[in-house]
Amino acid sequence: MINILITGGNGQLASCIKDLAIDYVNLNFIFTDFLDLDITNLNQLNNFFNTASNDIQYCINCAAYTAVDKAEKESEKAIKINTEGSKNLALACLKHNITLIHVSTDFVFDGKGKTPYLETDPALPISVYGETKLKGEQEIEQILTKYFIFRTSWLYSEHGNNFMKTMLKLAETKNELSVVSDQFGTPTYAKDLAKLIVHTITSKSVDYGVYHYSNIGSISWFDFAKAIFEENRTPIKINAITTSEFPTLAKRPAYSVLDKSKIRKMLNIEIPNWRESLKQALDNHKNL
| Catalytically active residues, by annotation | 129
205 CB-contact burial (10 Å; exposed 0-12 / middle 13-18 / buried 19+): middle
Report helix, strand or coil for 73.
coil
CB-based contacts of 244: which residues, under 8 Å, 6+ apart?
Answer: none
Which residues, in sequence order, are bridge partners of residue 102? 61, 149
β-strands 155-156, 188-189 pairing: parallel
AA letter at 83: T
DSSP letter string over 227-266? HHHHHHT---EEEEE-GGGS--SS---SB-PBP-HHHHHH
AA letter at 214: S
Rounded to whole angstroms, what are the CA distances from 26 to 19, 21, 129?
15, 9, 36
Q: Are the C-beta atoms of 151 and 102 separated by less than 8 Å?
A: no
> Residue 156's closest CA among 169, 172, 174, 145?
169
β-strands 27-31, 99-105 pairing: unpaired
Region of 229 on the Ramachandran plot (φ > 0 left; ψ -120 to 50 alpha; else beta): alpha
β-strands 219-220, 184-185 pairing: antiparallel
Which residues, in sequence order, are bridge partners of residue 210? 149
